[in-house]
Amino acid sequence: MRLLSHNLLQCNVKNCKSNNFPLKIQVDKSNIINCEFRKEPLVKLIPKLDWNALAITVHNLANNKEFPEKFNPALLDDLKFMQDLHRILMETHIIEGALICEGCNKRYPIKNGIPNMILNDEEV
């Protein structure tokens, strides 16, 4: 799982409406898989992201306070920042661990890089 799609994902439990995004990530094992850096597709993806959630996640995971809390169009011209963003969104894979909903405490385990989002019958 990459942070790109983590940014799209909410908790799916019935009636879990508040504080269900972003899911907290517990990392047991992560991996960097290099892929080609292309700026334009990345720029196009930015409007789809919830920047606030991404900032929270990055701050939690990396203890990296440098990551800007607010998006600012000037960042698009900063090549160094775009490369960092590429690394964060496209190249960082969470292999083992779990996603935890802070609203309802539902725990979704991640194994082999694939989160298990299947609910129990009573949670649907």
Partner 1 sequence: MATRPENICPPEIYYNQDEAVKYTNSTRIIEIQEQLTERCIELLNIPEDEEQLILDIGCGSGLSGAQLSEHNHHWVGIDISRDMLNVAAERESEGDLYEIDMGQGFNFRHGVFDSAISVSALQWLCVASKKSYNPVARLKKFFQSLYNCLRAGGKAVLQFYPDGAQQLEMITTAAMKCGFGGGVIVDYPNSAKAKKLYLVIQAGGDTREQNIVMMNGLEDENEEEAKFNAAQKQKQIHKAKKPKIKSKEWIQNKKERQRAQGREVRPDSKYTGRKRSGPSKYLK
Residue pair 50/7 in contact by the 8 Å Cβ criterion: yes
Nearest distance from C-beta of residue 110 to partner 1, angstroms: 10
Q: What does the alpha-carbon distance between residue 57 and residue 50 come to, in Å, rounded to a whole number?
A: 11
φ/ψ (deg, to 5) at 16: -95, 90
74 or 124, CB closer to partner 1?
124
Q: Which is nearer to partner 1, 12 or 30 (CB)?
A: 12
* Strand stretches in 33-111, DSSP E: 92-100, 107-111
Min dist CB 112 to partner 1, Å, is 5
Nearer CB in complex with partner 1: 50/78: 50
Rounded Cα distance, 67 and 52, in Å: 11
Q: Which residues bind partner 1 (CB under 8 A)?
A: 1-2, 4-5, 8-12, 20-21, 33, 35, 41, 44-45, 48, 50, 112-119, 121, 124
